[in-house]
Structure 1
Amino acid sequence: MRSVLRALHGVNNVLETVIKVLAGLLVAFMVVTVFGGAVTRYITGIGYNVVMELPPMLMPWLVFPVAGILMRGGSHIAVDFLPERLSPKPARALRALVSAIAVLAGITFCFAGYEATALFKLVGQKTEMEWAFPIWWLYLSFPVGFAILTSFALENLLNALLGDPGAEAPEKDYEQAGA
């Protein structure tokens, strides 16, 4: 079981790095697009709708894949009262329960997202902006993001079940470092 955890941890480390790089590039693209549109409109007096429409349409590709990274690092929205008051063994059991629920929810949402994506691909609907592209490209972020979240939640679950020292919440390490 520990070898599965080590392999999953290695895969997730690479996945996290790739997602962070792609998310940074996506944010940079959105900022440059909006800034470039503003400069173009100021200089030429001509604006392009795609400049205002594209960044919000790309936002799901930022939000869904990054959600797994946030959950993996304990940076997701959580109630900190109970975990901080529990002794180590019950806290580990709580982490295992939360991670198991996240795995089940991730699998469920991944399949639901896949079905929605398949439906929009079958319909063949396209966006109604200057650059028309298939709407299913937007919906594809949903199953991709939840597949990533499921992988990270599974790693958290195995960490909690096996009692690895690395299973402690990263924010505790941050607090101990004197930050």
Structure 2
Amino acid sequence: MMKFKSVVTKALGLASIALFAVLVCVTVWQVFSRQVLHSPSTWSEELSKLLFVWLSFAGSAFLFGERGHIAVDFVARKFSSSTQRILQIIVQLLIVVFALLGMVWGGYLAASIAWNQQLTALPLTIGWVYVVIPIAGLFIAMFAVIDLISVASGKEEPYPDIDESEEPRDLDELEGHDPDVALTADVAGSADSAEGRN
């Protein structure tokens, strides 16, 4: 089950990369045609809006599959492990309900209402903008069910620890040197150069 989730998440990641690449190309063409050719492209603005919506929802589903979404777990981590597990199960159930009702059902209604409304510059209908919402909702619901089963069975931690060992804590760590060592080396270097001049 986790292998399947990993494959789907990777596919969503690749789809997000492809959507982003096409979005960048379309936007560059839009700016080039407007500023350099002085003949604004009529289709690129609508396509960039459609791509941006699709990228947002595909990226959200990808992030959810990675369990990288925002989670305020400060209070939950204060409880015991069993209570954390129960809280995470409740959270995953709420996510499944929201994904199925709000995104799948609501997205289907939005897409069906707008399905016959034609875009002005593209041979597509406005429904194509909204059709990504139920698709992303299905992925999010599927990931939530997999996470719920994994947490309930004890295969996964309710709130996994974040590895911050490689992240710099201050500017000195970011630059990769200790100021005291650097200062000592600078003083020693200055002393050596002064002796060389003498």
Indicate the residue corresponding to 1:3 in structure 2: none
Determine if the alignment matches structure 1 residue 71 to structure 2 residue 64.
yes
| Partner of residue 157 from structure 2, selected from 146, 167, 173 | 167
Q: CA deviation at 1:168?
A: 4.7
| Partner of residue 136 from structure 1, selected from 127, 130, 137 | 127
Give secondary structure in 1 for the equivalent of 2:119. Answer: coil
Percent same amino acid among aligned pairs?
22
Give secondary structure in 1 for the equivalent of 2:114. Answer: helix
CA contact (8 A) 1:72 1:156 kept: no
Please identify which structure carries the higher helix content. 1
AA aligned to 2:129 is: L
Give secondary structure in 2 for the equivalent of 1:20. Answer: helix
Whole-Å separation in 2 of the counterparts to 1:51 and 1:120: 21
CA contact (8 A) 1:107 1:150 kept: yes
Give secondary structure in 2 for the equivalent of 1:116. Answer: helix
| Partner of residue 90 from structure 2, selected from 84, 90, 97 | 97
Indicate the residue corresponding to 1:111 in structure 2: 105
CA contact (8 A) 1:103 1:154 kept: yes
Q: CA deviation at 1:16?
A: 0.9
Listed as ranges, the gaps of 5+ residues in structure 1 are: 1-5
Question: Normalised by the size of structure 2, how large is the TM-score?
Answer: 0.75
Whole-Å separation in 2 of the counterparts to 1:15 and 1:118: 26
Q: 1:83 to 1:70 in 2, by over 3 A?
A: farther
CA contact (8 A) 2:30 2:44 kept: yes
Whole-Å separation in 2 of the counterparts to 1:48 and 1:32: 13
Determine if the alignment matches structure 1 residue 120 to structure 2 residue 114.
yes
CA contact (8 A) 2:151 2:157 kept: yes
Q: CA deviation at 1:161?
A: 0.8
Question: Normalised by the size of structure 1, how large is the TM-score?
Answer: 0.82
AA aligned to 1:116 is: A
AA aligned to 1:127 is: L
Indicate the residue corresponding to 2:147 in structure 1: 156
Whole-Å separation in 1 of the counterparts to 2:75 and 2:65: 19
Determine if the alignment matches structure 1 residue 25 to structure 2 residue 18.
yes
Higher relative contact order (CA 8 A, sep 6+): 1
Q: CA deviation at 1:157?
A: 0.7
Q: 1:41 to 1:115 in 2, by over 3 A?
A: closer
Whole-Å separation in 2 of the counterparts to 1:41 and 1:104: 45
Give secondary structure in 1 for the equivalent of 2:67. Answer: coil
